[in-house]
Amino acid sequence: MTEPQQHWTPTPALVRAVLVAAVLAGVAVLGRRVDVAVLATPFVIGTVLALLRRPLDAPTVRLTGSASSLLEGQALRLWVDISAADETTDIDVVAVTIASTAFTVPMFNTVKHVGSLRPGEPCRVEIVVRTVRWGRRSIGPAVVRVVAAHGLLRLGALRSGLVTTATLPLREGFEAIDAVPRAEGLVGGHRSLRGGDGSDIAGVRPFQIGDRLHRINWPVSLRTDRLHVTSTYSDRDTEVVIVLDTQHDIGIPGGIDGTSTSLDIAVRAAASISEHYLRNGDRVSLIDLGQHFRRVPAGAGRAHLVRLLDVLLDVTARERGGAAVSTALARVPHGALVLLLSPLVGETATGRAIAIAHAGRPVLVVDTLPADANPPERSPWTPLAWRLWLVERAIDKGRLTEFGVPVVRWQGSGSLDQVLRDVSRAASAPRARR
Amino acid sequence: MKRARALIRALRDGVRLSGVQVLLRLSIIASGAGAMALSHGRWQGATVVVVVAAVVGLLATATAPDSIAGTAAILLITGLWLISHGVSPHSAHRPGAAATALVGVLLYLLHSLATLAAALPWSARIDRMVLERWAVRLFPPLAAVVVVAAIAAALGRRPGSFGLEIGGLAAVIAVTLLPAILVRPHRLTSKP
């Protein structure tokens, strides 16, 4: 894309060349000074030769990128192609600038690149940028300034189109233990609470009709004079429901190298958890507390991960939801593991977690409030108010624990292990419903 | 002035100037200083004033090559040349052909380097090809200086005539008009 109706305009250098040539030539003629005529010569010859090579056409600018999606912190190569329809177009200096955005950092600490456009040869300038925060954003436009005729003519800024990239929040690896409260389905990677064909040994018991012969434990059978079999737990899958609290965003977004907001932590955690469970063959669904219409139903496989990440890219902080979210949460399958990612601001998230737990579903709250979060100081009372709020929040967390909802701070890989063990143990224990 | 302000802002913001830009600016000062050294012959009251003004003009050109300071510096150095070698065509201090050619080369270099410095951004990765092409295009006008200086030296001092002066004035007008004709605006249409 090029801006319409561009003119090649004289630069101050052309004015200087003409002025100097005219004055010196005038002095040479009027003063009968051959030496001054000699001084004027290069200005005259240089100007005329340069203007004879002047381009008559405006070049076109095109911006392309090396990838349409990448991970946080990865580099993206951008190519700015400058070409002219007229093959004789000769441009001395092509200066390319990429308009930088908040989370697109040009590498090598330079934002401008200079090349030249030779007749018949298109000019390609490569610019490497690094995207440091998840999200869908447009990079560009590339602004190109050209100077021709040996610096005597220039064209206004030419602008290219935009390159749209998706920066996936899938940078930190996540691993969790195998334990889930209730493994359902027919096949999967988790040890269920029920016996059946599987790989995890449940114990040795007397042979029953229907047991497979290859399960017979011959050493025990010979010792006891009765047929015994090695029983196993069946391997089944589970459904993980990720509930994302996007009603508040606390903190200053600094990208992958700087500070994170609560939404950054929640989105990165959601992506990592989804990737982990989907890789293990489980089903993952997503409910956004702020945007009820962005619910992703349960699914499995690589394609589902792409779908989840696509939804996570467009997550923004907004305070909506209401009845539609309540309906979505009520439809969560009974045996599903619910992971609520929330900074626990206000009573909505706490209330939702308690409601889910009260409905008999195993729920785990992942605290996404940044450790270094601090409100901007608006008055001398701000620090005190902040401390009071933290106390209130601690009380809310205590209430959640009382209701059997564990709260754990997100710390990347392994941060859910202990809690998952506890939840699994609690799920297998006999209990009376209140 | 705008460029000077931009430079100050860039320095204040810690923008790294490219080595080429620094070299270009030093070369502007060097070529102007060389031309001045060759131009002045006698130290007079007026000469000192012109020298000081030319030095200021040179420094301003190095700082803001897109400004009018470049034009002023070149004209002041030429003025210095005229003062030093006498304004009258029958002056006893007739400059040598080599010195004249060298001053012509240095003045054109000053102009061309200032043009290049103005065309390049402050901090930029500059393709070497840009500088090579620029340098190659300097040769024809510089060669023309040497050739014209040699011709002038070979012809020696000839008495002028009224017809020759009228022709010379017409040539001056042509010199001024030709670039204006060549750069008449062409309305360019956008390419999809």
Task: Give me the residue spans of the domains in chain B.
Answer: 2-161
**From CA A298, how far away is CA A307, in angstroms rounded?**
11
Domains of chain A plus CATH, in order, are 1-168 (2.60.40.10), 190-236 (no CATH), 239-428 (3.40.50)
pLDDT at B16 over 80: no
Per mean pLDDT, which range of A108-112, A296-300, A315-319 is the poorest? A108-112
Instruction: Say if CB A46 and CB A29 are below 8 A apart.
Output: no
What average pLDDT does the segment A12-24 reach? 92
What average pLDDT does the segment A21-49 reach? 87
- Considering only CA atoms, which of A16, A40, A14 is closest in space to residue B70? A16
Yes or no, beta carbons of A58 and B66 under 8 Å apart: no
Yes or no, beta carbons of B190 and A13 under 8 Å apart: no
**From CA A357, how far away is CA A348, in angstroms rounded?**
14
Per mean pLDDT, which range of A19-28, A239-248, A415-424 is the poorest? A415-424
Interface of B with A in 84-113 (CB under 8 A): 85, 87-89, 94-95, 100-101, 103-105, 107-108, 111-112
Q: Tell whether ipTM is more than 0.90.
A: no
pLDDT at A364 over 50: yes
Among A47, A114, A126, the strongest candidate for a mutation testing the B interface, having the largest count of B CBs within 10 A, is A114
Under the banding of pLDDT at 50, 70 and 90, the label for residue B14 is low
pLDDT at B137 over 70: yes
Structure tokens at A74: 């990865």
Yes or no, beta carbons of A35 and B67 under 8 Å apart: no
Tell the burial category of A311 from Cβ atoms under 10 Å away from its Cβ (0-12, 13-18, 19+): middle
User: Which whole-number Å values give the CA distances from A182 to A72, A202, A408, B186, in the listed order?
Assistant: 34, 16, 20, 76
